[in-house]
Chain A
């Protein structure tokens, strides 16, 4: 689903994104991940391995193999 490079030598990395396993063969930070997901600039919040990732750190935090990420939005609810 997400655009990734297909270089045969690339390191495979698997992260769990909103409960779904996703494979990447390129290193990327959270900002780049959001870009892939067309979520950049949207009102979202990110949790990585149970810890909140402040928006200011999106560009600094590199994803690592085995990461568990939750990306949430506000929706209608009571």
Chain B
């Protein structure tokens, strides 16, 4: 079996999905089921004081017994906020230590602040968190995050929520070639072909949210993404043919075609 292994745990799906931006919990659940994802990200937020006591909880819809929940630090701009958020997440999820670290640097672009990310990663690894880390697509930073002890590096394909696809496949290729931990493209995927391209490059997985949630038909897009990730992975494993700009080589036999001229046409 071709499985994804993160921090010693085996997953058959290489598609990781977020749980934000859906119109309701029913759509969230249906999309996640269609995606086949086993690892799903959740955010940690303050309770609304005085909220409706009957309000459903995300964890009732997506129970930790069925999925590997990946609490994130979305919205955190400092080391302190990110670390505190994940300590709360670990308490909330009964000691579950697999987390997604992201420390943002700019509210307009949601570009990560890599200086703060490196510091937060060090603290979290020392506290025995298993850190999957959102990073810019800089191969040196990705290597440093791996050296710190992160269990997966997750470079952006393009900016969070942008749907711009893979802007720098060359950087991703360098990160993939050098990494000994799983490389998961996180952010920027817009449609199924983007996910397939990421997998064809040799990424170990793809994490997305908006590409599914903001599609006209999220459940159908979730299914498309599942297939794209599987197709891209198989294409990567199969090993693509060499690209040739110009070297005619027909797929059908070059001899024996009927012809009004007396000689076979060389192809």
Contacts and interface: CB of A to CB of B under 8 A. Distances in A.
A78 B21 contact: yes
A20 B46 CA distance: 11
Given A52-B87, A77-B41, A71 B59 contact: no
Interface stretch (A24-32, A37-45, A59-67): A37-45
A55 to B, nearest CB: 7
Interface string B28-40: 1000000000000
A43 B41 contact: no
Interface residues of B, number: 39
Contacts of B20: 75-78
B4 interface: no
22 contacts: A1-B50, A18-B46, A44-B92, A45-B44, A47-B87, A52-B87, A52-B91, A70-B84, A72-B46, A72-B88, A72-B92, A73-B45, A73-B47, A74-B93, A76-B28, A77-B18, A77-B43, A77-B74, A78-B20, A78-B21, A78-B43, A78-B160
Interface of B: 18-22, 28, 41-47, 49-51, 53, 57-59, 69, 71-72, 74, 84-85, 87-93, 160-161, 207-210
Interface of A: 1, 17-20, 22, 37-39, 42-47, 50, 52, 54-55, 70-78
B7 to A, nearest CB: 20
Instruction: Across the A-B interface, give the 7 residue pairs with the lowest CB-CB distance, nearest first.
Output: A77-B43, A78-B18, A78-B209, A45-B92, A38-B53, A18-B46, A45-B91
A17 B49 CA distance: 8
